[in-house]
Structure 1
Amino acid sequence: MRNLRPAFGILGLLLLGGCGGGSGAEEDVAADPTGVVVVPAPAPTPTPTPAPAAPTPVGPNTMVLGAATAFGQQAWDFSILQTARSIGVMAVRDGVAWTEIEKTPGVYQFTSPGSKWMETVINNGFPVTLLFDDTNPLYDGGKTPHTDQGRAAYAKYIVATLDRFPKIKTIEIGNEYNAFNFVSGPVRDEGYGARQRYYFETLKTVYRAVKASHPDVKILGGAGMAIPVGYFKPLFGMGALDYMDGIVVHPYTTDPEQLAKQLGVLRAAMGAAAKPIHVTEFAQELDSIPDTANYLVKSIAVMASAGVAEADWYALRQQGGPSNIWYKNVALASFAGDLLPPGQAFKVMSQQVLAKGAGRRIAVDDFTYAYQFGQNAMVVWGEPRSLSVKVPARFYNAQGLEIAAPAAIEQRSPIIIVSDQPLAYGQNVSFGDIRLVADSYDQFDFTNSLSGETRFEGPWSYFSYAVRRQAYDMAYTQGGGEISSSDWMPYIGIDWLRPFNINANTVGPVDYNTGGSPDAYKAVLRYTSPHEGRFDIQAVWDVVETSDDGIDLQVQVNAQTVFATTVARHYDMNLKNLSIKQGDIVSVVVGPNKNAIGTDTTKYRIKIYRTS
């Protein structure tokens, strides 16, 4: 199984992993008319002065940009909320621990720091997306709820919490339920089919209980680590979409450039019953702060333009301790609440980009990522080319620092453009020409279906080549997460050939080595040229370090091999001055070499340039 989680490990929510601590004084309890024993609401936590409301999105399609906090887990200083307000955090996403609220069956207490934080956050004007993902030793042996009794108790605890905090209007049922860090007992151990049934029954029970007394509360379901469309499909088939107001994904494993495409696969799977998509965690733990900031700016631009309803950065403040900071380079603010570069980038995106209005991608070409917000802001990056802006404007890099007007865009670092005058692509904003005509990453295509209802739309298509049969099989879109060992996001593959896969930036040939005899299936990336002329093909290959003997690599033009080699680790490929006609087929074939010991997963990127 691949390491599907980034270096965050269980970052998804450590919020609930250790919500211990004292519960404070016991409160008197009163009998509810329904027979459930509840506690009366304590007096609200006093606030010295009325707090201003948190920022709200502008325009009907503008995404709510929030931040995940850990008030439910750690004793954070509430002064961090002032930092949150100053950078334009529109909502807070956090969780509560069931064990701190219900210590006696049917008795609900809200006296511990792990639950009282909600009062302070709400009084400071922040909407809360509240996660309920927990267990309680009073029910189902302390494991993830899996019986009718356990589910009913879970639902009553949620309703009691909403009764106590009526200003909470969005709740999240379960956290990364398809993964293995936040489920236990039969839910974890009985396989995906059982897990999906358990989750469906829990979601339905909670939905009915909450809507009966709090019909205005938005219930978010799905609880997906990554974008596991294949895992979701059985849930959809059971009718889970009828019991949620939005669906949750945590796209840690997806690059920003591929995010809109993968969300499109999710929407297609939901069909006519599609629900709004809520990204209640997003971040990547990268090697440098500039890389983290680049990811943040790109992701916000893409999600806001792709119709995501809510996106919450993980996390608002540094966690751990000064000598052991968890999740390096991802926090928006330091332990002391001082703004870090990702936080500065967040501030510019919230207050100067999203505030301009709803986003949309500008149709430049496949190799340029240009997003416009309202009339007065743009975020751009892509294949290096000149940039011209002919109106007065302010320019920012991805760390939120104002910079001089750049002469060109680049792939790695996005540029933020803000102007008091309308920005119009093709009029006062323009890009220079480029020689690039094809890119396996920018043009990666998810549109082929097993049913044949859709076919690859762009110039790239994908196949497996069975060495033993000497035959090609067309690959097609896999939702991801169909089984726990598959990629937990959409990819190209074949149902009967797992773990064979092709992604935008990785390729995985296989060899089943049946009875000691090779049974290899090579991955074929096929480019059908809409152009004619002479071209250079450049590619970068990086084979996983665990591979025993690397990959074999071929380039063919109309089935004629023009290049062949083996690659052990890293290889830069550069084929010069190839003659290619319109309609010619360029095939890049990646095999497992002599064996697939250690797996042969390989990072790659192929670019085709018109010769100068």
Structure 2
Amino acid sequence: MRVNWVIGFVLAASGAVAEPARGPELQAASNFGQTWNEVVFDAAQAEGITALRDEIHWDFAERDGGYVFDHEILTYPELMAEAGMKLTLIAVGEHPDHDAGATPYTAPAIAAFADFFAETAQRFRAVDAVEVGNEMNSESFTEGPAREADIEGRAGYYAALLEATHAAVRAARPELRILGGAAHSIPLAWFGALSADGAGAWMDSIALHPYTTAPEQFRRQIALLRAVPGFETLPIEVTEIGTVEPAKAQALLMKTYCQAALAGATNVTWYPLSPRGDGYVPLLEDDGSVTPVGRTWQMIQAELQGLEVTDAAPDPFTYACRFGDRALVIWGAERALVPEDPALSVRDLSGQPVAQPRLSPDRPLVVLSDGPAPRLGENLRLGPQLVVADSFDQFAYPGGEAGGFHRFVRVGGEVVPFILGPGQQTGGVPWTPYLTTARDGSLSMDAEYLQPSMWNGVAAEIVHAFTAPEAMVLSVEARVAPTPESSDGVVISFRHNDAQLAATTVRDATGVTLPGVALAAGDVLEIVVGPGPEPNGDDSNYRFTLRRVE
């Protein structure tokens, strides 16, 4: 039953039509609801970071049956209003006087929760949206029965909170946006359960924290989410994204902004504004100084926010967003980028000029124009594209393949098709959509990892097959990195039609290159990954790329 339900998602998603979009509003996730920091507050205002996402603690403000706002962490929204700032208020938490400190689940406790956040929104005029819940599909922000429930049960508890809070806030301040969904990652099973509870009717937009989705895969996963009844047209708000890796923070923000904009998102919020003690890279340090990713945030705000955005990608291996006539954000397979108009300047993610720009898959470039719009093929020239297939850039869910590799499972001589795993439908599976099989849920794959299996002693191999559209000579590049849980690694082999070209067992991160594979039109090249003798834990990160040899 669940498998048929998932297949329906895929068929519906393939017909989704993108609507015109604009650069989303930028926000920052602050921590003033837990720790007041006047230096950071003043710096945020001075640096133009004036749209924040934060909380007011219910368990601190409600005392002896009344509301008491008598501390800086309870009154900071007053300062925001005075400074012309605005707040997305997170309605989250428990209270020891209601349901013994569990996530509210009885009618009186649910009403108390909703009434408190409606009163808070009414009290503080800086509040311009209320986000009901925070990562409620996880165990991190739930207590009691909601935490102990399965995904359908937890969705039911959350839907009751959402419905009551929506009604209370709407009665107090009908102009406010109500954000719902409250999801860590993009788990279709969670949204399917919310759909069954009718939760889409009680939100104005969908709040997502896509920490486990590469920006390049965001639009593919949103297309699947759009097929869930009740979530077809609701706006998307990325209310948290961030990283613990400083070297990757700027690129993550710019890539997410570009791809979220193309997916129709109306908001992108960086986590955190200032250090939170969890290692995530902030926009501001505790002394108020701006970090490198903070500079990227400011560049986006100054140059991209609010402008009409269009997809300017010239091929599947290049990502590009054009923002009005002002800017082009671009990254992808390595090659030269040559501006051919003096009105164009190429900048790095800190806004500094780049003398000899080259595309990179890891570091977007920003092309700014003081004249005509930056357009590839007109006033911007790219070097030749040598990539003809890439497992990451051309990853596809069932029904969505459009060139590149064909993916399937082979067991002995039998070909087994992939089906869609919705994500978080049970324990031990990804919280994003992925590929799996009807027989074996442990056999799985997405754009970045794969896990083969063993069926009755026969290897269940994951195959990437490329059919040459014309005669060509290719460099075959494969990177595979088994996780430490794999006891004996995986086996990777390369086949040209029926002939094996090479095979090896991979136990650690390994790159394999076959430098000159000649294919005739119609020839099939396969990259095959199978399990080791002990298949448990054989999940591996991977990427397969085919390039023309000139």
Does the pair score TM above 0.5? yes
Report the Cα offset of residue 278 of structure 1.
0.8
Moved more, 162-171 or 129-138: 162-171
- Correspondence 1:343 to 2:294: yes
Contact 2:313 2:321 in 1 (8 A): no
Taking only the aligned residue pairs, the percentage that are identical comes to: 29
Change (3 A) 1:272 1:110: closer
The equivalent of 2:203 in structure 1 is 244
| Partner of residue 93, structure 1 | 53
How far apart are residue 540 of structure 1 and its match?
1.0
Residues 526-573 of structure 1: CA distance to partner in whole angstroms, max 9, x if unpaired?
333334322121111111122100001122233443222211112211
Q: Does 1:64 align with 2:15?
A: no
Q: Deviations over 1:30-49 (max 9, x none)?
A: xxxxxxxxxxxxxxxxxxxx
2:91 is matched with 132
Equivalences for residues 48-127 of structure 1 within 5 A? 61-77=22-38, 79-89=39-49, 91-105=51-65, 107-127=66-86
Which residue does 1:600 correspond to in 2?
Answer: 538
Residue pairs, 1:475-514, within 5 angstroms: 475-511=418-454
Q: Secondary structure at the match of 2:84?
A: coil
> What's the TM-score, normalizing by structure 1?
0.82
What secondary structure does 1:74 align onto? coil
Aligned mates of 1:345, 1:251 — CA distance in 2? 19
Cα displacement (A) at 1:381? 1.2
Q: 1:87 to 1:266 in 2, by over 3 A?
A: farther
Residue 405 (structure 1) aligns with: 355
Q: Letter of the aligned partner of 1:173 in structure 2?
A: V
Aligned to 1:12: none
1:180-199 to 2 correspondences below 5 Å? 180-199=139-158
What CA deviation, in whole Å up to 9, does each residue of 1:353-382 have, x standing for no partner?
Answer: 336x12222031111112111111111111
- 1:229 matches 2:188: yes
Tell me the matched-pair count: 529
Structure 1 residues 231 and 520: CA distance shift in structure 2, 3 A: farther
In structure 2, what is the Cα distance between the partners aligned to 1:352 and 1:541?
Answer: 38
User: 1:428 aligns to what?
Assistant: 379
- Structure 1 residue 335: Cα displacement: 0.7
Secondary structure of the residue aligned to 1:297 is helix
* Distance in 2 separating the partners of 1:519 and 1:135: 51
Q: CA deviation at 1:165?
A: 1.8
What letter is aligned with 2:437?
I
C-alpha contact (below 8 Å) 1:100/1:112 kept by paired residues: no
What do the CA deviations read for 1:482-506 (whole angstroms, capped 9, x no partner)?
1242111122223542222111111
SS at match of 2:463: strand
Q: 2:490 aligns with which of 535, 551, 555?
A: 551
Deviations 1:192-245 (A, max 9, x none): 121111112221122222223322121111110011122211211221111111
Which runs of at least 4 in structure 1 moved beyond 6 Å after TM superposition? none
1:301 corresponds in structure 2 to: 258
Task: For residue 123 of structure 1, report the CA deviation from its aligned partner.
Answer: 2.0
Report the counterpart of residue 611 of structure 1 in structure 2: 549
1:208 aligns with 2:167: yes
| Equivalent position amino acid for 1:282 in 2 | I
Match of 1:579 in 2: 518
**How far apart, CA to CA, are the structure 1 residues paired with 2:163 and 2:355?**
54
Q: CA deviation at 1:187?
A: 0.6
> After superposition, where does 1:530-549 map in structure 2 within 5 Å?
530-549=469-488
Paired residue type of 2:32: F
**Counterpart AA for 1:265:** L
Structure-2 change in CA distance of 1:308 and 1:608 (3 Å): same
Q: What RMSD over aligned residues (CA atoms) do the two structures have, in Å? A: 2.0
Q: 1:461 to 1:239 in 2, by over 3 A?
A: farther
1:348-367 → structure 2 map (5 Å cutoff): 348-354=299-305, 357-367=307-317
1:457 aligns with 2:363: no
Match of 1:269, SS? coil
What is the TM-score normalised by the length of structure 2? 0.91
Matched, 1:316 2:273: yes
8 Å Cα contact 2:44/2:288 also seen in 1? no
Output the CA distance in 2 between the equivalents of 1:570 and 1:97: 45
Q: Is the Cα contact below 8 Å between 1:87 and 1:344 reproduced in 2? A: no
Task: Tell me whether 563-572 or 86-95 shows the greater mean CA deviation.
Answer: 86-95
1:471 aligns with 2:414: yes
Q: Aligned runs of 1:123-162 on 2, under 5 Å?
A: 123-162=82-121
Structure 1 88/302 Cα, relative in aligned 2: closer, same or farther at 3 Å? farther
Alignment-mate amino acid for residue 490 of structure 1: P
Q: CA deviation at 1:439?
A: 0.9
Question: Secondary structure in 2 aligned to 1:268?
Answer: coil
1:462 touches 1:492 (CA, 8 Å); kept in 2?
no
Which residue type is aligned with residue 49 of structure 2? V
